[in-house]
Amino acid sequence: VSRLLPFRLGRRLPARLGLLLRVVVLLSTGLLLVGLLLGGKVDAIARLDELLRPGAAAGDRLVEGGFLLVVLAPIVALVLVGHELARRNDRRLVALVALELILLALGLGIGAR
Amino acid sequence: VVTPLLPHLLPFAIGAAGGFVGALLGLGGGIIVVPLLTLVLGIPLHSAVGTSLLAVVATSVAGSAKYLEQGLVDLRLAITLQSALVMGAVAGAVAAPHVPARWLALLFSLVMVWASLQLFRPGVAGEEAPPRVRSGAPVYRLRGLPEGLGASGLAGLLSGLLGVGGGIITIPVMILRMGVPTRVALATSSFMIGLTAAASALVTAMHGTIPLRLAAAVVLGVLAGASGGSRLARHFSAGRLRQLVALVMIWAAIQLVLRKVMS
């Protein structure tokens, strides 16, 4: 992953991660609130829902989006920390980050079955 | 505009109560949200656990943002302990649907009693001088790593099974056994439980036991309550509040046993 990310996080990593998480909280709060407000009453979203997932209530997709955003944020933060550790050649901690990501994928795989 | 939100007011209030008390006491809020959802709204325990997991992720993300900017999160320690946490969390979330609700309620009650005893214990959530921060990271001497890894594995397992953050186990161990300064322990635990709860929440969501709209209202409530709680913290006597919440939690644990285990 470190080779794929063309930027350095350096000493400002914690501050940048903090900013990223703040933005995620704002966006997901907005999505959850709008999703609850819209409920099943907006035609455009209802039509989109019908196309993407027949039978789903309108607005629920926004709620799902809000949750997906907030649930993925800690995983993205972990990848960014791993990227910085790899740049510093801290192999032991990079191995732990890789282990955690593999465990996550494994858990999702088992959960999906 | 307000009408579609009316049915969500009670779940929002429950989330706000959990977030508010959680912010004042340094807890994730799951330990308060799950019994309230089950006892007040009659939500099945498995669904309450899934809802709580999403609330814990949201609280962690919001709390971590603040702590990271203050340089209080020990990222190296977080990565190390997270490996055990995630392992336990995935195992717990995979096992949760197969554990009968009665056993889950009993286990949750025991964890609530343990958490209440921790709240009575001096020195765990107490005040202390802010730690030294160098290059965006706290400076202190770490010890007892194997104990920390063991406690993290247990905390992860309980998180996946019960929808709590696990901070109620990791924070006391970090402070009392690993020599981590209180504020660093709170900040690092907040960052760690986000990933743990995210792992459990994703697995739980795949089982389809999370009621999305209810969860949205609870999460919005938790975020609002946590924000209010952190702003009003200095106006409250933390010691008295800790004891009051501990007594309420013991009462809720007894109610859970009476209604879900004995019935």
Instruction: Look at residue B42 in the predicted model and tell me its pLDDT.
Output: 86
Mean pLDDT across B178-197: 85
How far B174 CA sits from the closest chain A CA (Å)? 19
For residues B150-171, give the mean pLDDT. Answer: 82
Judge whether residue B19 has pLDDT over 60: yes
Is residue B111 a contact partner of residue B168, using CB atoms and an 8 Å limit?
yes
Percent of chain B with pLDDT over 70: 86
Q: Give the pLDDT of residue B157.
A: 86
How many CA atoms does the CB half-sphere of B223 hold within 13 Å?
A: 23
pLDDT score, position B239: 66
Contacts of A41 (CB under 8 A, 6+ apart): A58, A59, B4
Higher pLDDT, A79 or B165: A79
With cut-offs at 50, 70 and 90, classify the pLDDT of residue B138. confident
- Within 10 angstroms of residue A3's Cβ, the number of other Cβ atoms is 8
More confident residue, B8 or B52: B52
**pLDDT tens figures, B102-127:** 888 888 888 878 877 877 766 554 44
| Residue to test with chain A: of B86, B98, B190, most A Cβ within 10 A | B86
User: Which residue in chain A has the smallest CA separation from B197?
Assistant: A71
Please state, in angstroms and rounded to a whole number, the distance separating the CA atoms of residues B186 and B125: 9
Neighboring chain A residues of B223 at a CB cutoff of 8 Å: 25, 29
C-alpha distance from B258 to closest chain A C-alpha (Å) = 32
One-letter identity of residue B143: R
How close B43 comes to chain A (CA, Å)?
19
Supply the pLDDT for residue B123. Answer: 56
pLDDT digit string, tens, across residues A14-39: 888 888 888 998 998 888 888 887 76
Q: Residues A45-64: what's their mean pLDDT?
A: 62
Question: Smallest CA–CA separation between A15 and chain B, in Å?
Answer: 5
Going by pLDDT thresholds of 50, 70 and 90, the confidence category of residue B13 is: very high
How confident is residue B149, by pLDDT bands cut at 50, 70 and 90? very high
- Cβ pairs A/B, distance under 8 A: 156
Strands (E), chain B: 132-134, 137-139
Contact residues, chain B, for A104 at CB < 8 Å? 86, 90, 199, 202
Q: Does A93 sit within 8 Å of B76, measured CB to CB? A: yes
Backbone angles phi, psi at B139, to 5 degrees: -115, 125
Range in B24-28, B60-64, B154-158 with the lowest mean pLDDT: B24-28
Q: Half-sphere exposure (CA, 13 Å, Cβ side) for B207? A: 21
Summarised one tens digit per residue, pLDDT across range B53-98 is 888 888 888 888 888 888 888 888 999 999 899 888 888 888 887 8
* B58 vs A contacts (CB less than 8 Å): 25, 28, 70
The tokens describing B147, both together, are 């104990």
How high is the pLDDT of residue B116?
Answer: 79
Kindly report, residue by residue over A60-96, the tens digit of the pLDDT.
Answer: 778 888 888 888 999 998 888 888 888 888 888 889 9
**B187, pLDDT greater than 60:** yes
CB spacing of B75 vs A13 below 8 angstroms = yes
Lowest model confidence (mean pLDDT) among A42-51, A64-73, B158-167, B175-184: A42-51
- Chain B contacts in chain A segment 15-74 (CB below 8 A): 15, 17-19, 21-22, 24-25, 28-29, 32-33, 35-39, 41, 60, 63-64, 66-67, 70-74
* Mean pLDDT of chain B, nearest integer: 80
Query: How confident is residue B26, by pLDDT bands cut at 50, 70 and 90?
Result: low
Q: What is the pLDDT of residue B135?
A: 67
> Are the CB atoms for B247 and B115 separated by under 8 Å?
no
Of B235, B58, B68, B28, give the one whose Cα is nearest residue B20: B28
Query: Which of A41-55, A76-90, B196-210, B221-235 comes out lowest in average pLDDT?
Result: A41-55
Which chain A residue lies closest to B133 (C-alpha atoms)?
A14
Reply yes or no on whether the pLDDT at A52 is more than 60. Answer: no
Q: How far is B184 from chain A (nearest CA, A)?
A: 14
Share of chain B above pLDDT 90, in %: 6
Going from the C-alpha of B73 to that of each of A48, B8, B120, B154, B259, the distances in angstroms are 42, 34, 26, 21, 40
Of B54, B82, B136, which has the smallest distance from its Cβ to A13's Cβ? B136
Provide the b/e sequence for B109-143 (b: ≥16 CB within 10 Å).
bebbbbbbebbeeeebbeeeeebeeeebbbeeeee
pLDDT at B4: 60
- Minimum Cα–Cα distance from B65: chain A residue: A18
The pLDDT of residue B256 is 74
Q: Once rounded to an integer, what is the mean pLDDT over residues B160-186?
A: 81
- Asked whether residue B248 carries a pLDDT value surpassing 80, the answer given is no
